[in-house]
Chains A and B, each alone.
Chain A
Amino acid sequence: MKRVYLAITLILIVALGACAGTQTIQNRTETIVISYESIGTLAFPTVRAYIEQREANKSLSGDALVSAKKTYNDAVDKFDQAGNLIKSYVSAPKTTPIAQLPVLLRSVAVLLANLSGGSVQGNTLIIPSTGGTK
């Protein structure tokens, strides 16, 4: 199956960017923000469209459909938490525990992978280009 590699080197980049003490605060912040933007503009719309497509063709319905939508909303909430963490980091980089960020984003990636029939391999979220077979 043809797969698209979406947001996910992003998580690796964020992890490296957050942990590498050799980077300047500007470089680190830019890396983190670009990564966050990529996940928000690539991964989320793709997974939402996939759920809507499955709802439309009736391959996902009833309790399973409700569960999928709730899981998507949970992913949104975690992503929002990650955003607030980044905001704290931007406001006070030396006192914000940014190491939590890769953990949060990884949990978001796992939820999105489960919803789309994709997977998280290492630090990469892989979402099937035409959706999974779940």
Chain B
Amino acid sequence: MTLAEIEILVNGLILAAQLIITQINDNTHLTDEQKKGYLDRITSIQDRVKGSKFPV
């Protein structure tokens, strides 16, 4: 194997790693259902705490 071939192999491995990382990131996005669930939970707590404000 020549030096050029080794360099190509290394670059190919790096590209493969980058593709795997991209796939992992793509697989970890939140689904619309998950987003709605989280947004509802946050809104619920926000409303509860805002409702506890003192009238001053």
Residues on A facing B (Cβ under 8 Å): 24-26, 29, 33, 36-37, 40-41, 44-45, 48, 51, 66, 69-70, 72-73, 76, 79-80, 83-84, 86-87, 90-91, 93
Say whether B56 contacts A83, CB under 8 Å: no
Is there an interface contact between B34 and A70, defined as CB atoms closer than 8 Å?
no
Considering only CB atoms, which chain B residue lies closest to A24 in the complex? Answer: B28
Given the known A-B contacts A37-B41, A83-B46, are A76 and B53 also in contact in the complex, defined by CB atoms under 8 Å? yes
Main secondary structure of the interface of B (DSSP, over half): helix
Q: How far is the CA of A26 from the CA of B49 in the complex (A)?
A: 25
Q: Which residues of A contact B28 (CB under 8 A)?
A: 24-26
A4 to chain B minimum Cβ distance, whole angstroms, is 19
| A90 in complex: contacting residue of B39, B50, B56, CB < 8 Å | B39
A90-B30 contact given A80-B46, A83-B42, A83-B46, CB 8 Å threshold:
yes
A36 touches B50 (CB 8 A): no
A-B contact pairs, 15 of them (CB 8 A): A25-B29, A26-B28, A29-B34, A33-B42, A40-B48, A44-B49, A45-B52, A48-B54, A76-B52, A80-B50, A83-B45, A84-B46, A87-B42, A90-B42, A93-B30
Q: Are B30 and A40 in contact (CB under 8 A)?
A: no
Contacts of A83 in B (CB 8 A): 42-43, 45-46
